[in-house]
Structure 1
Amino acid sequence: MMAAKRATEAVGRALVEEAQRWGGMRQTGVGLRYMMDFGSRPTDRNLLISAQFLHRELPIRIARRVVELDDLPFGLSDEPAILKVRDWYLDSFRDVRSFPEIKDISDELAFTEMIKMIKVRHNNVVPAVALGVQQLRKHLNPKLASCDLEEIHKFLDRFYMSRIGIRMLIGELLHPFSVWQHVALHDPDPQPGCVGQINTKMSPMSVAQAASEDARAVCMREYGDVPDVNIYGDPDFTFPYVPSHLHLMMFELVKNSLRAVQERYMKYNKDAPPVRIIVADGIEDVTIKVSDEGGGIPRSGLPKIFTYLYSTAKNPLDEYDYRGNNAVTMAGYGYGLPISRLYARYFGGDLQIISMEGYGASCTSLS
């Protein structure tokens, strides 16, 4: 029994040491244009090349996350949820490294099936890390200034941005026409205009409408009532973007606005004013503005809204099940806005918040 335990520990140490070696290697950047050009030609040869690239690249990117998760300040690395996430990344690193050399299309298909399992394994990384941060916050000195926690914020920005990049690589280079390549390869009717997760003719109006309906459903479930959402813009306007990224950003922004408006007006038994979304196509930028009359954010709260240790809502994460059994809550995770800004910045955009305390807030997403 003791010998088996020692053998298991030795294997675990060897795996961690290998991850540390790979984490020191240089990763390869992949741009949006390359993803679109490559993914638009899903030949067997291209799929084989992309699988071989991922077989080399994913261990580096995954190992870097393992190394960072092992070396976090204030004892964050020892929080149970963070340890769970670190184990997920170690398992995925082991799976990719142990996969044999990819030589033909049958190897590529087997590799794709393995990658699909990895993608599912990591579906709940974001809320699990958020839970770890909340676990840390419970025993942090409340007098610590936000500048003292800057190292944690920088890590989380890097960590979440890297996660976006890994999922884009998996989604684009191995999954042309859809999120799952194995399914798409046998799809006789792929969506027109779609190259992997990128829609070359994405309608921001349609995405805003879908995200608003999803946010209104959450608000209705939470409060039993929900403000309207009015959307303004050219319904025929399209541009190339990742719909799932824009949907996430719009969902978070609209959800925040709905909550602020509903909580403000239900106190007075008054009809709540609508949340407004404006989509503008400029010469250089696509701008999407979400504005509300929810009372705004106090000036003292504005510096905190893009940190991962701040939320104006009651925290629902105390009972969070990071295996994926929780429904979407209205607020309280403390990462909706900072994550949304990272998604905006991934392709060179940004997300800005302008508040008029006593009236409302305006959230602008620049794509």
Structure 2
Amino acid sequence: MAATIKKASKDLIDEARKWAAMKQTGVSLRYMTEFGSRPTPRNLLISAQFLHKELPIRVARRAVELESLPYGLSLKPAVLKVRDWYLESFRDIRYFPEIKDNIDELDFTQMIKMVKVRHNNVVPMMALGVQQLKKDLNPKIVYEDLDEIHQFLDRFYMSRIGIRMLIGQHVALHDPDPPPDCVGYIHTKMSPVEVARSASEDARSICLQEYGSAPDINIYGDPKLTFPYVPTHLHLMVFELVKNSLRAVQEQYMDSDKVAPPVRIIVADGLEDVTIKVSDEGGGIARSGLSKIFTYLYSTAKNPLDDQSDVDPETATTMAGYGYGLPISRLYARYFGGDLQIISMEGYGTDAYLHLSRLGDSQEPLP
């Protein structure tokens, strides 16, 4: 396949450049919910026709951007591989015939399902590319100064969240027996307290595996509070924050006789936002280190890519280590109009504030 990409690449890249210049069309959580709540054959056809036009623009933008990254990042073997995946996907979607009826729609749905699978490994593969770059860079370069690379990765991963959301949502609307209150990926009555509970149990079991013990986690908030959101997104974000807190507390109290203090999760219901605060007493982060926590070139944990060639990138657990958990969690929060802030008291602990917009009407941020 890669050989055919190389042969066809001149024409294909020219075509991708043409499409990359076209305007993207954002959708909101509210629109996805309203549209998807009636997955009639006609609506599925309209959805497929929209994706047939929209996906090639978004995929082409990323393929073209992967061609011209600074510091020679575009030439790293891992990045070339990712670029080939994007070009293949652009070709598959772009040259899929016009979607005229529901038979075409089902064929198209199968094809974009394959596209989504092809891109499963993009995050670890890009992480590998960045690592290949770090090995070659002058050691005197301060990683936080590599702004262009950070901005590129923010755009790249935000776009990936959007592409996967659109494909996943369309595919999920074909489920003949959807779970109650679910519209594709969106749960119209999601309980943030319940999702936080499940994500923190997952994080705690990983901490137990790694250290043999784990601090308690106390959750405060009304389990009956619900609002429309994507549970898998929230699970990923809370898992990451709690995992970081557990690790900080565990390492702070490892050689101490004192009982490790619990990690506290507070869920607050506001008019505009539902906010989840994850608080720990794990010693905090020095102010000089705070600027680094949202960069893609910094991690305090051992990198899983160093000793595992076949990590499963879709399980959030492997996010420990490539230093991508926090910046990617912040992108997930911002994708639907929220945000993630980290406030630290060095010598005491860290508070992470995860703001989720409960209005659901902000457009996707389109990089």
Q: Shared topology, TM-score over 0.5?
A: yes
Q: 1:66 to 1:320 in 2, by over 3 A?
A: farther
- State the number of aligned residues: 354
TM-score normalised according to structure 2 size = 0.91
Q: Superposition pairs for residues 2-151 of structure 1, below 5 Å?
A: 9-146=6-143, 148-151=145-148
Q: Which moved more, 1:17-26 or 1:101-110?
A: 17-26
Q: Quick check: 2:23–2:57 contact (8 Å CA) kept in 1?
A: yes
Aligned residue number for residue 278 of structure 1: 266
Q: 1:8 to 1:248 in 2, by over 3 A?
A: closer
Q: Quick check: 1:35–1:173 contact (8 Å CA) kept in 2?
A: no
Aligned residue number for residue 327 of structure 2: 338
CA distance in 1, matches of 2:331, 2:33: 21
Q: Quick check: 2:5–2:84 contact (8 Å CA) kept in 1?
A: no
Aligned residue number for residue 360 of structure 2: none
Is residue 155 from structure 1 mapped to residue 143 from structure 2 by the alignment? no
Higher RCO structure, 1 or 2 (CA under 8 Å, sep 6+) = 2
RMSD: 2.0
Runs of 4+ more than 6 Å apart: 5-8
Q: 1:219 to 1:59 in 2, by over 3 A?
A: same
Q: Quick check: 1:51–1:174 contact (8 Å CA) kept in 2?
A: no
Aligned residue number for residue 364 of structure 2: none
Aligned residue number for residue 213 of structure 1: 201
Deviation at 1:48, TM superposition (A): 0.6
* Counterpart amino acid of residue 35 in structure 1: M
Per-residue CA deviation, residues 114-148 of structure 1 (Å, 9 max, x unaligned), is: 11111111112112212211221122223323563
Q: 1:271 to 1:130 in 2, by over 3 A?
A: same
Q: 1:338 to 1:7 in 2, by over 3 A?
A: closer
CA distance in 2, matches of 1:337, 1:361: 13
CA distance in 2, matches of 1:300, 1:141: 22
| Structure 2, unaligned runs of 5 or more | 357-367
CA distance in 1, matches of 2:3, 2:263: 60
CA distance in 1, matches of 2:4, 2:211: 54
Q: 1:13 to 1:347 in 2, by over 3 A?
A: same
| Structure 1, unaligned runs of 5 or more | none
Aligned residue number for residue 303 of structure 1: 291
Deviation at 1:54, TM superposition (A): 0.8
Q: 1:286 to 1:76 in 2, by over 3 A?
A: same
| Residue aligned with 1:304, SS | coil
TM-score normalised according to structure 1 size = 0.91
Q: Superposition pairs for residues 154-173 of structure 1, below 5 Å?
A: 154-173=151-170
Per-residue CA deviation, residues 255-277 of structure 1 (Å, 9 max, x unaligned), is: 00011111111122543221110
CA distance in 2, matches of 1:223, 1:365: 27
Q: Percent identity?
A: 72
Deviation at 1:191, TM superposition (A): 1.5
Deviation at 1:329, TM superposition (A): 4.1
Deviation at 1:12, TM superposition (A): 2.7
